[in-house]
């Protein structure tokens, strides 16, 4: 439970820090999705419990909803569905080294972005969103994915160090990491 709460606090701090630095520095480029990396870390490390991880996913999605000004619930749903896919994949893929951490972060942000786009396209009439603008935005998501790919290893390392520092590491992982 403390591990899940730590993910939520660190995820919120990373979202706030990224947004704050972008505002102070006047950055107008697409920012990385640090919360997607936090979600990937939660899925691929530790105890891998479904319900606490799903609660973290929904809460991080809600934090992103609030920070981005998205319709409340869209990113919560996208993060929850992404968590389920990542939780399933974590039982089949071992993440070792910074390259795999970056690729898992990329997988997480691509899943979040595509799920968000699908939800927004499905609810475009309800939210009075022009679908043409959504299709235009889809092309720019590659920069969002690239930014997240680049920050995934440092964010992953930060989380690892925090969990070691606070003695929140779960059971040691097997080298094969195959669980059914």
Please indicate, yes or no, if residue 160 is contained in any of the structural domains. yes
Does residue 176 lie within any of the structural domains? no
Count up the domains in the chain and report the number. 1
- Contact of 84 with 43, CB cutoff 8 Å: no
Per-residue pLDDT band at 138 (split at 50, 70, 90): confident
For residue 146, being part of any structural domain is answered with yes
- 124 lies in some domain: yes
Q: Residue 178: helix, strand or coil by DSSP? A: coil
Per-residue pLDDT at 174 exceeds 70:
no
Average pLDDT, the chain: 87
Angle of CA points 160, 165, 167, to nearest 5°: 90
Cβ–Cβ contacts within 10 Å for residue 156, how many?
23
Mean pLDDT on 124-149: 85
Q: What is the mean pLDDT of residues 27-35?
A: 84
Residue 55 lies in a domain: yes
Q: Is residue 110 part of a domain?
A: yes
Instruction: Give the per-residue pLDDT at 180.
Output: 44
How many whole angstroms separate alpha carbon 92 and alpha carbon 129?
38
Vertex 11 angle, CA 161 and 160, to 5°: 15
Range of the domain at 129: 2-165
Query: Does the pLDDT value for residue 60 go beyond 90?
Result: yes
| pLDDT at res. 131 | 83
- For residue 156, is pLDDT > 60? yes
């Amino acid at each position: 439970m403390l591990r899940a709460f730590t993910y939520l606090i660190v995820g919120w701090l990373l979202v706030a820090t990224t947004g704050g630095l972008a505002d102070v520095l006047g950055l107008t480029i697409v920012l990385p999705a640090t919360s997607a990396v936090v979600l990937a870390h939660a899925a691929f490390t530790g105890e891998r419990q479904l319900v606490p991880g799903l609660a973290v996913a929904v809460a991080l999605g809600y934090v992103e909803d609030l920070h981005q000004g998205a319709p409340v619930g869209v990113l919560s749903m996208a993060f929850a569905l992404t968590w389920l896919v990542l939780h399933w994949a974590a039982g089949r893929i071992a993440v070792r080294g910074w390259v795999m951490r970056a690729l898992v972060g990329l997988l997480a942000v691509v899943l979040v972005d595509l799920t968000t786009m699908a939800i927004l396209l499905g609810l475009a009439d309800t939210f009075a969103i022009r679908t043409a603008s959504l299709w235009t935005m889809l092309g720019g998501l590659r920069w969002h994915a690239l930014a997240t790919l680049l920050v995934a290893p440092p964010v992953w390392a930060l989380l690892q160090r925090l969990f070691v520092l606070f003695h929140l590491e779960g059971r040691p992982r097997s080298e094969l990491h195959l669980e059914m």
